Amino acid sequence: MHNPPSDDEARLFAALPGEWTITRTLPGLGRMTGSARFRPGGPDLLHYREDGKLTLDGGQVLDVYREYHYRLEPGLIRICFAEPGPPRTLHVLRLNQAAASDVHLCGRDTYAGHYEFPDDDRFTVRMRVTGPAKDYSIETTYERAR
């Protein structure tokens, strides 16, 4: 028997499609500004793509992008890397009072993500990255494009 997604995850999933503006701070490295799009890829799948400009603290500007797939599953939203082959999970979101946290181990590095969804037009992702040669935090704010 197929269990339906929880109301919280289904409501959030339904609110994500569309255009978003992004501001990402990378302390000690720079700041990224750009846009993100969530496009439906099926009833329980959203394709995510972000494009932007990363301005390094030294003034150099780089074009950057990321792609993921968001999958609505019973009781959760699974964020997977958009790459060939079997799906590889970045984070699993189980909402608790409009927030969710998860940890992804990539080699010897840990990506601890905390997601906050205060309303349908704004959300924040804080990522703590630690490992033998890594120790930094990233904060990304998403606002619905108007």
Token pair 């924040």: residue: 124
- Report the SS3 class of residue 129: strand
Q: How many CB atoms lie within 10 A of CB 86?
A: 6
Q: Does position 29 have pLDDT exceeding 80, yes or no? A: yes
Average pLDDT (117-129) is: 96
User: Over the stretch 36-95, which tens digit does the pLDDT of each residue have?
Assistant: 999 999 999 999 999 999 999 999 999 999 999 999 999 999 999 999 999 999 999 999
Compute the chain's Rg from CA coordinates: 15
Q: Does position 4 have pLDDT exceeding 60, yes or no? A: no
Among candidate residues 129, 138, 46, 145, the one with its CA nearest the CA of residue 93 = 46
Q: Assign 1 a pLDDT band (cuts: 50, 70, 90).
A: very low
What's the confidence (pLDDT) of residue 50? 98
Q: How many CB atoms lie within 10 A of CB 1?
A: 2
Among candidate residues 94, 99, 89, the one with its CA nearest the CA of residue 119 = 99
Which domains are seen in the chain, by residue range?
8-144 (2.40.128.20)
Higher pLDDT, 24 or 6: 24
Q: Does position 26 have pLDDT exceeding 60, yes or no? A: yes
For 9, phi then psi, to 5°, come to -65, -40
Task: Tell me the pTM.
Answer: 0.91
Q: Does position 3 have pLDDT exceeding 60, yes or no? A: no
